[in-house]
Amino acid sequence: MRKTHSTDPSWSDVTPKADFLNRRQIMAGAGAMALGSIAGPALASIDAKPSAYSTDAAPNTLKEITSYNNFYEFGWDKGDPVQYAGQMVTDPWSIEIDGLVDKPGTYPLDDILKPVTLEQRIYRFRCVEAWSMVIPWIGFELSALLDRVGVQPSAKYVAFQTLYRPEQMPGQRQGGIDWPYVEGLRLDEAMNPLTILATGLYDEEMPNQNGAPIRLVVPWKYGFKSIKSIVKISLTEKEPPTTWNRLQPREYGFYANVNPEVDHPRWSQATERRVGAGLFAGREPTLMFNGYGEEVASLYSGMNLAKFY
């Protein structure tokens, strides 16, 4: 696990939730002036109030979330990332931000995190392979970062790139995928408040196998859009290439919105298997936009979602 930077929030302040709520109650009683003395300055940057965007569904266990992964840089099996991702060095880390922005540059992760408010977001997570989980992420809205670097009016898309470091990522020494892994969003999707950059889950810094130290989470899209271990963000005028679309354009589109009515060419997307639900639990119906239609359906009004899959 990555060592905590001196400027990082103290992760133990985020959870266990009971402790945190307790502390908040104490703070409410003691008044805001006591914040520094009770909780330490780190707490000031964490807003772990249950987010309005969190689901009530019970989260998967930490074990399930951190041992059943897709991170092809470390191999093709679900157990490969937990086995091999420990080799990935995630400190120091910086993100290069370029393209149509006012303040391009290479930003150390500490600088990116310093002014942000970290929140817990408990999101449903639906993989295109028709399994799902509920994950308590810790992160902040991508829009906060984009606003800071100043998106220029001509920008229409946001492109993301994962670390390319074959000596630490055995999957990158093999063929199959044109590395580095790349993804993209339309700018309005990127600015939607549901879209977050996550730096942790439960009360942990982001485990390597889940995309340390910082990854995207876009909960109304299939999981492959939620690119891990981001080193570069570019604002572009044209729709950027994306890894799975480049590999299998008929199977994986740029949009990849969760849609029970548009099947994958090789399997149905109407239902899903909740990881950890047990052998006899039935499959659950998959929800349009993974249940986030109220927040995002308007982004696609008038679009043919069977064509723009």
Q: Note whether 73 and 179 are within 8 A (CB).
A: yes
54 touches 120 (CB < 8 A): yes
Binding site as annotated, residues for Mo-molybdopterin: 69, 72-73, 127, 162, 210, 215, 226-228
**Of positions 121, 221, 228, 232, contacts ligand MTE by CB under 6 A:** 228
Residues between 49 and 78 that touch ligand MTE (CB under 6 A): 69-73
Q: Which of 9, 99, 136, 223 binds ligand MTE (CB under 6 A)?
A: 223
Residue 181 contacts ligand MTE per CB under 6 A: yes
Other beta carbons less than 10 A from residue 197's beta carbon: 23
Which residue is at the shortest CB distance from ligand MTE? 223
Question: Which parts are annotated binding residues?
Answer: 69, 72-73, 127, 162, 210, 215, 226-228
Measured from the CB atom, the residue of 10 and 67 that comes closer to ligand MTE is 67
Q: Pick from 119, 139, 135: which is nearest to 58 by CA?
A: 135
Q: What is the nearest approach in angstroms of ligand MTE to the Cβ of residue 199? A: 13
- Note the maximum CA span of the chain: 59
Quick note: the x/- pattern for ligand MTE over 154-173, rule CB under 6 A, is --------x-----------
Q: Does 80 bind ligand MTE (CB under 6 A)?
A: no
**Sign of the CA dihedral 23, 113, 41, 89?**
positive
Choose, by CB under 6 A, the member of 46, 88, 159, 227 that binds ligand MTE. Answer: 227
Kindly write down the DSSP assignment for every residue of 173-217, as one continuous string: GSSSS-SSPEEEEEHHHHHSTT-EEEEEETTEEPPGGGTSS-EEE
Tell which one of 14, 101, 127, 196 touches ligand MTE (CB under 6 A). Answer: 127
Sole window of 29-37, 140-148, 221-229, 277-285 interacting with ligand MTE (rule: CB under 6 A): 221-229
Query: And the tokens for 190?
Result: 């990127």
How far is 220 from 21, CA to CA, in rounded Å?
29
Residues in the site for ligand MTE, rule: CB under 6 A?
69-73, 127, 162, 181, 210-211, 223-224, 226-229
